[in-house]
Amino acid sequence: MIKLHGIHKSYRSGEQSVHVLKGVDLHIRDGELVSIMGSSGSGKSTLLNILGVLDGYDQGSYELAGQQVNNLGETEAARLRNKQLGFVFQSFNLLPFKNAAENVALPLYYQGVGRRERNHRAEEFLDIVGLSDRKTFMPNQLSGGQKQRVAIARALVGRPKVILADEPTGALDSQTTLEIMTLLKEIHERGNTMIIVTHEQDIADQTQRQIFLKDGVVATT
Amino acid sequence: MLDGLQEILFTLRQNKLRTVLTAFGVFWGIFMLVLLLGAGRGMQNGVWDDFGSEVLDFIIVWSGDTSVAYRGMGPGRKIQLDLADIQAITQQVSGVRMISAERHAGNGTISFERKNSNAQIAGIPDDYFRIKEDVPFNFGRRPNPLDVEEIRKVVVVGSAVADRLFAKGVDPVGKDVRVKDVVMKVVGVFYDKGNRGQNSERVLMPLSTFQKIYGGGAITNNIWLRPAKGVDGFELEKKVLELLKRRHDVSPQDMRGVNSFNMAMPAKNVNGLFVGIDIFIWFVGLGTLTAGIVGISNIMIITVKERTREIGIRKALGATPFKIVSTLLLESTLVTGFAGYLGLVFGVALLELVAFGLRSAGAKLPYFLNPSVDFQLAITALLLLVAVGVLAGLMPALHAAKITPTEAMRAE
């Protein structure tokens, strides 16, 4: 599903250039549930951005679902994100002025799905994450766990090939963390490829494979 | 498309304060511009109204006592114009479109049955009302050549006189009135706004009839003329004065022996004044518009800045840069267009209300009449404002569409 080969990435900040990724090789199979671990500064966020086509890379090759991802234009990248990828963020990133169902329906809007079909599918996926009774709630009326469930529904609604979760439980208490992890595993069992970026060992322990990132390279696979 | 519009309306509804602030800037700019333009137009209408029903290019010549000694004759000599002067002007001065004599017999009493009125009595050839072509006739007809030729005992009376002798709005045509004890038939009623309505306190009869009643032969008190098309009225006035002064042995420097008034002079001055007023209005109006435009630009920049995070999220979910930019621009177009339209409607409504109030109250403000606005101009201003609003939104929108989603989402 995902093939990374010799990925290099450096950021320029003023005069200085910071070499963050120094040749990452990575292969994630279809339907796998993997975690990417690493201390802060190890480059795991950068890697996630490249995997999510949110950012480009300097060197190497990246193949996502059989398609080469190389120097895509903004429009191409947006289409790819929209079709192939679902994002779950640490800070949920819901639009505060849209209710739960409208937030979930947003990726479908950018896919050009009609309003009626959008609403129908948004409700269906809210049902899957167990929030069918919170459809019209605004984000500020929801608890952290509920917000993350909405975000997960939103990541799923476009039927993407890969779900990318960036510290999905980083802002949640331990009880809610447990619930969200259970939900994520359920979703994985439905046949989704899922990549979870985390720095917590007990989260990583619940995945099939752990990838350690250290100083810009993959340490152990 | 419709879906996109719904999405925009939804966003606008969720950000009421921002929307209202943007909208108000545009609304105010257009509203003030419309008011200014309307007030300016009202002033122009009012000033032109003061010119009454005069054509704006007539020249009137009259004579008096000489004030300068000339060719051995001392000052104080009385000069009298006559019909031979008119003939000389027609023959020797080119560029005269119309020319007419006018005889005065001072004030006299006009009576109908038991009612009396005071009025200026004058005698005129039929050409007179061709020169004063803008003077409207409420009833009846203008004097015609046959009236003069057949020395008919007919009069046209000013509306002020007619209102006093007959009831207001009654058609007096065909009625016999006594003009200084001579019975004459009314053939027309005119309304001349000039001289603050005093020009309507006159009774005019054919020149031939006047000469028969009051004598005086071929003399005339005034000579009226209008220049032909394309002829400079001031040049014509000069030539006519030269000729008349030569004919009557009046010094070229004498300003009293033969005198004249050219309507083109005040018309020219007023036109100059209006150019000044127009420049002022446009200066203030464009200033107001600029303030509105700066306001929109500011709010658009803030809007985009404030929404950076939202834009980042949308991009992560698959919004293309085109979609982001077009949505933002359509949003600003909608807001500015709608608010500008409202400003236009409210401005025009207020102007109409003022005009209606003035009309129905019968109030007459000096130099203010019928405020109105050139609609095409207002629409142009509106389109300009909307276009600039869109342009103002374009820069930050393009910028927002360029930053990567991760960067955008990091913004707080």
The answer to whether the CB atoms of A87 and B317 lie below 8 A apart is yes
Q: Check residue B412 and give its pLDDT.
A: 52
- Mind telling me how many Å the CA of A77 is from chain B's nearest CA? 8
The overall pTM is greater than 0.95: no
How is chain A split among helix, strand and coil, in percent rounded to 5?
35, 25, 35
How does pLDDT run across A166-213, given as a tens digit for each residue?
A: 889 888 899 999 999 999 999 999 888 999 998 889 899 999 999 999
The answer to whether the CB atoms of A110 and B409 lie below 8 A apart is no
Q: Check residue A3 and give its pLDDT.
A: 92
Q: Which of helix, strand or coil describes residue B410?
A: helix
Residue B205's Cβ-count burial label (10 Å; 0-12, 13-18, 19+) is buried
- Mind telling me how many Å the CA of A40 is from chain B's nearest CA? 16
- Mind telling me how many Å the CA of A81 is from chain B's nearest CA? 5
Whole-angstrom distance, CA of residue B7 vs CA of residue A45: 32
Residue A197's Cβ-count burial label (10 Å; 0-12, 13-18, 19+) is buried
Q: Check residue B84 and give its pLDDT.
A: 94
Q: Check residue A221 and give its pLDDT.
A: 52
Q: Check residue B406 and give its pLDDT.
A: 76
Residue B26's Cβ-count burial label (10 Å; 0-12, 13-18, 19+) is buried
**Is the Cβ of B6 closer than 8 Å to some Cβ of chain A?**
yes
Calculated CA dihedral for residues B74, B78, B79, B81, nearest 10 degrees: -170
**Is the Cβ of B398 closer than 8 Å to some Cβ of chain A?**
no
Q: Which of B11, B314, B317 is the best mutation test for A, with the most CBs of A within 10 A? A: B317
Whole-angstrom distance, CA of residue B157 vs CA of residue B124: 13
**Is the Cβ of B326 closer than 8 Å to some Cβ of chain A?**
no
The answer to whether the CB atoms of B317 and A114 lie below 8 A apart is no
How does pLDDT run across B228-249, given as a tens digit for each residue?
A: 988 899 999 999 999 999 999 9
Q: Which residues of chain B have pLDDT under 50?
A: none
CA neighbours within 13 Å on the CB side: how many for A79?
8
Of A97, A107, A115, the CB nearest to B317: A107
Chain A residues whose beta carbon lies within 8 Å of the beta carbon of residue B318: 78-79, 81-83, 107, 110-111, 158
Q: Check residue B19 and give its pLDDT.
A: 79
Whole-angstrom distance, CA of residue B248 vs CA of residue A6: 113
Q: Cβ of B271: how many Cβ atoms within 10 Å?
A: 13
Q: Which amino acid is at A208?
A: Q
Six-digit token string for B106: 């001072």
Q: Check residue B222 and give its pLDDT.
A: 94
Q: Using the 8-state DSSP alphabet, how is residue B196 labeled?
A: G
* pLDDT tens series, chain A, 221 aa: 899 999 999 888 778 888 889 989 999 999 999 999 988 778 888 898 899 998 888 989 999 988 888 878 888 888 889 999 999 988 899 988 889 999 999 999 999 898 899 999 999 999 999 998 999 999 999 999 999 999 999 999 999 989 999 889 888 899 999 999 999 999 999 888 999 998 889 899 999 999 999 888 888 65
| B314 Cβ contact list (under 8 Å, min separation 6) | A95, A106, A110, B324
Chain A residues whose beta carbon lies within 8 Å of the beta carbon of residue B409: 89, 93
Q: Using the 8-state DSSP alphabet, how is residue B181 labeled?
A: T
State how far the alpha carbon of A136 is from the alpha carbons of A98, A123, B57, B169, B248, in Å.
Answer: 9, 10, 76, 72, 101
Whole-angstrom distance, CA of residue A97 vs CA of residue B309: 13
Of A49, A74, A98, the CB nearest to B321: A74
Containing B389, the helix (H) or strand (E) segment is: helix B375-402
* ipTM attached to this prediction: 0.90
Judged by phi (left if over 0) then psi (alpha if -120 to 50, else beta), residue A61 lies in beta
Q: Check residue A155 and give its pLDDT.
A: 94
DSSP string spanning A36-80?
Answer: EE--TTSSHHHHHHHHTTSS--SEEEEEETTEE-SS--HHHHHHH
